[in-house]
A and B are shown apart, each in its own frame.
Chain A
Amino acid sequence: MNQDTATAEAVDINQDEGDFSFPEDYALDAGIGLSQATLDYISEVKGEADWVRDFRKRALKTFEAMPMPTHWASKDLENINFDKIRYYLSKGVKPTRNWEDVPDDVKETFERLGIPEKERKFLAGVEAQFDSEAAYSNVKESLEKEGVIFVNSTEGLREHPEIFRKWFGKVIPTGDNKFSALNSAVFSGGSFIYVPPGVKVSHPLQAYFRINAENFGQFERTLIIVDEGAEVTYMEGCTAPKFETTTLHSAVVELVAMKDAKIQYITVQNWSANVFNLVTKRGIAHENAEIRWIDCNIGSRLTMKYPGVIMKGRKARGEVISIALANDGQHQDTGAKMIHAADETTSNVVSKSISVGKGRSTYRGQVHIPKHLKGCKNNTECDALLINSHSRTDTYPAITVRGNQHATQHEASVSQVSEDQIFYMKQRGLSEAAAMSLSVNGFVNDLVREFPMEYSVELKRLIDLEMEGSVG
């Protein structure tokens, strides 16, 4: 079998799981293209307060004024046609708490993807977003009694403005980049979470994002505020069916960890290969707080995502753990931003990427340690594995250190699966593909262990499938 066909088949196998869609019958549709009217439609449907409407309108102006960041980013961005995208599609604005009430096709979608089953097993709360709105949202009663709020963005801004308005758009301002501005204009769905002081949510909260419609843009908005001494783990997963046309997913995720709080944010991104995944994620860690981004990118056509932590309080900690797998036609442009803004703050970035076939993976990082701080530390490690001769990998970190009280180190390496290793395993009766897969799993193993059990099993399986037939 020719190598390229083999790799292509490997992609097909993997995408099968999420590659199905239901006919579109949406009660609410904002039409094609973006204008003031689109924003008015979304605000009207959601019954939003005036300040949210103004926020959207200002954001639209910012979006229109900002250029594409193509002076440093991939030229592929120019292939996004903002006039052909549908910005809001929904079967109804209010999510149901009861799984039985979810429309059949949506229910079937999520059942095929195993969502309610996972919830029964171990999750503390689940939200499932179908195109623009959450179709289902549930949180364990015991948590609700402790004051944990887990709702979608519409409800969060309407029912709990006293909690969410203070931080909304503050961690990531509208004008941060062109896509955060776009999100601020047309956001819908996403999770708004508040954990009161001292509450430690023992099981993860989960959100599941699904795109069903063609030519659609999903713009969820997530804001997680964890109050003093509280802890939470949040997981998100994403899939979409494979269309000929491009689909846009542009989320904004803001995290706020108050004093001594801990947030762990886990993403397993497996969009189909026609999705532009352009996401802005950033957290603020106050004194002695910890924010960890655990990020796995397997799908999409182009992913640009650089989770960041602003360490604002003394002894705050930030961490990004990232696994990226780029197959034919994919560009995983991922990285991390660590902004040290207080004494004795520490950050850690560990990134591993695998490029298969003609895939391209890129690490882009920023570490900033300003003047007059003391005792800041950063460690960055980026390892890349190239599988085929057409595979490509790039690393572009930027590290600024002012003053003599800090320590930073950055290391990156690029390597192949060693021929000796493969030969050794073949000697022991493994097929070449199995040997390759074992070797690749060994490469990411120490990071995969950072994911919760269910996810790490799933990840290993996904990597196995992606690797199949790519030996060469």
Chain B
Amino acid sequence: MSETVAKLEPSIDPDSLSWMSASPRREFDSEPDTLPGWYREFQSRSWRDFLATADPGRKDQNWRFANLKVSKFAGLVPTWKLADADAAALDNIQDRSVGSVEPAGRFVFHNQRLISSKTDSLADGVIAMPIAQALVEHGELVREHFMRDEARLGGEKFAALHGAADLSGVFLYVPKDIRIEAPIEVFHSASENETVIFPHTLIVTAENASVNVVDYFQSANDTDDTVAIGVSDLVVGDGSEIQYTAVQEWNAKSRHFQLNSTRVGRDGNASRCVVNLGARWARDESASRLIAPGGNSDMLAVNLATGDEEYDLRTLQLHEAEHTTSDLLYKNALYDQARTIFSGLIMVGETAHHTDAFQTCNNLIGSDDAEANAMPGLEINADQVKCSHGSTSGQISDEEVFYLCARGIDPEEARRMITFGFLNAVLGKISREGLRERLTEKLRRKFESLA
């Protein structure tokens, strides 16, 4: 192995982000600054961290196998420089934002601006509003949970940039004993070239509450390339439950970096599902912390990678308390020249006895040029632990296709059925039928676009 390290250009060029330093936004804003002081300080500190943090390098274990060229950004345009979309465009975006028939709440953002919201059916005491508004109206509550867990899977620089930026997305607080049955849906749309958006989702449940949230990421057209640098934090209170799904279907020119963290309290239950269908490059860093006994975290992902897409998935299951469980199941189907990287780590802390932690990543490789990388890892420091991880890479066997053909199914359809059967193991774990069907439909559409 050669020890000479090529000098890599910074992955995010600070010069292209000079509009973020100091507080240029306030000069553009005619209104007085209403954001709380602690948050303004957090932003300045984050900006300094961003400048001080080294760029991801080839020797960085957290970026092993990653394509460092795609994750390089320059000349990004902040959304506040863009003009408002016209009425026709807004209608079009509304039409594209299709989710459940009767959601409990619904938000649509375009280029970080809220263009519609519906929260009227939510129970009293539930807080559901754009994060920027929550920072003003519920500053102290947000402060308690806002970006509390540090990025530790390689995305430190992206996290700092997110912390310094103006955010879109939703803050959601569900008080004690309130259970919201229907989903709350948040649509993030973007257009114009080199636009950078910072979607932020923060969900907090109090004791015995439950909620189900879906984030959709969609481009307004097929031509404009968007860069999304998002954060989603789930804070699962004692005995409560959060089900969260992120559906990433940006156009083929866009790039998405997503930092996810989950914190599960006593007897809490978290389920996070990541679905990657679009974008040229998507990197998800997902960490689950089980901080009190009885907590459970399910981590799921379905990724259908085609063309020259690269999906880079890094996960951490961190068990910090006794009698906690976590279960990870990631399924990647790869076609054309697509690449996937899975790097997972189960870390069982010294006091987290009686932990059950599982991790499985399966890759189905459908073409000769696709590449799947897997780094399933374990670090165990406790006693009475049941842990396992498994990773497989394989292809659709000719026998299976032959069997289906013998029953009158054409080979194309046979391959599609087998791929769906493969991905279905994850989709089957999504308990909401409507969402499961919508995802299946989206996968089918992408699959059909394959040559």
Contact = CB atoms under 8 A, between A and B. Distances in A.
B318 to A, nearest CB: 14
B194 to A, nearest CB: 32
B384 A408 contact: no
Nearest to B345: A396
B368 interface: yes
Interface stretch (B48-56, B171-179, B255-263, B387-395): B387-395
Nearest to B57: A71
A416 B348 CA distance: 14
B385 A416 contact: yes
A397 B61 contact: no
Interface in A392-422: 392-416
A410 B321 CA distance: 28
Contact of B395 (A71, A175, A386, A405): A405
B223 interface: no
Nearest to B353: A389
A384 B371 CA distance: 29
B386 interface: yes
B54 to A, nearest CB: 12
A302 B234 CA distance: 40
Given A67-B3, A404-B365, A410 B392 contact: yes
A414 B393 contact: no
B365 A414 contact: no
Contact of A414 (B3, B65, B385, B394): B385
Contacts of B15: none
A406 B393 contact: yes
A405 B392 contact: no
In the complex, which range does the number of interface residues on chain A fall in?
35 or more
B373 interface: yes
- Chain A interface, DSSP helix/strand/loop, else mixed: strand
A402 B383 contact: no
B385 A409 contact: no
Contacts of B164: none
A414 B382 CA distance: 11
Contacts of B2: 175
Interface in A128-167: none
Given A406-B393, A412-B388, A395 B370 contact: no
Most chain B C-beta atoms within 10 Å of own C-beta, residue among A72, A401, A405, A406: A401
Most chain B C-beta atoms within 10 Å of own C-beta, residue among A65, A176, A371, A413: A413
Contacts of A402: 369-372
Contacts of B60: 71
A403 B365 contact: yes
Contacts of B396: 404
B3 A403 contact: no
A413 B377 contact: no
Given A386-B383, A404-B395, A405-B368, A410 B1 contact: no
B379 interface: yes
Interface in A409-463: 409-416
Interface string A75-99: 0000000000000000000000000
A394 B353 CA distance: 16
Given A396-B377, A399-B375, A404 B367 contact: yes
B90 interface: no
B122 interface: no
Given A397-B374, A398-B375, A402-B370, A411 B388 contact: yes
Contacts of B116: none
Interface residues of B, number: 43
Contact of B390 (A67, A392, A394, A411): A411
B380 A386 contact: yes
Nearest to A382: B378
A411 B391 CA distance: 6
Interface in A350-388: 371-372, 384, 386, 388
A409 B391 contact: yes
Nearest to A176: B1
Contact of A409 (B59, B381, B392): B392
B1 A392 contact: no
B10 interface: no
A391 B353 CA distance: 12
B377 A394 contact: yes
Given A406-B393, A407-B393, A401 B363 contact: yes
A395 B394 CA distance: 22
Contacts of B118: none
B376 interface: yes
Contact of A401 (B353, B377, B380, B393): B393
A102 interface: no
A406 B395 contact: yes
Nearest to B385: A414
A177 interface: yes
B3 A66 contact: yes
Contacts of A401: 363, 365, 371-373, 393
B64 interface: yes
Nearest to B360: A411
Nearest to A370: B371
B368 A372 contact: yes
B366 interface: yes
Most chain B C-beta atoms within 10 Å of own C-beta, residue among A390, A399, A416: A399
A371 B390 contact: no
Nearest to A402: B371
B389 to A, nearest CB: 5
Contacts of A396: 375, 377
A380 B353 CA distance: 27
Nearest to A412: B389
B395 A407 contact: yes
Contacts of A400: 65, 371-374
Contacts of B370: 402-404
A258 to B, nearest CB: 26
B61 A72 contact: yes
16 contacts: A67-B3, A384-B378, A386-B380, A392-B379, A395-B389, A397-B376, A402-B371, A406-B365, A406-B393, A407-B393, A408-B393, A409-B393, A410-B389, A412-B378, A413-B388, A416-B383
Given A388-B383, A395-B378, A414-B387, 9 more contacts: A371-B368, A394-B377, A394-B380, A397-B391, A398-B374, A399-B393, A401-B371, A403-B370, A412-B388
5 nearest A-B residue pairs (beta carbon): A389-B383, A401-B393, A395-B378, A404-B395, A414-B387
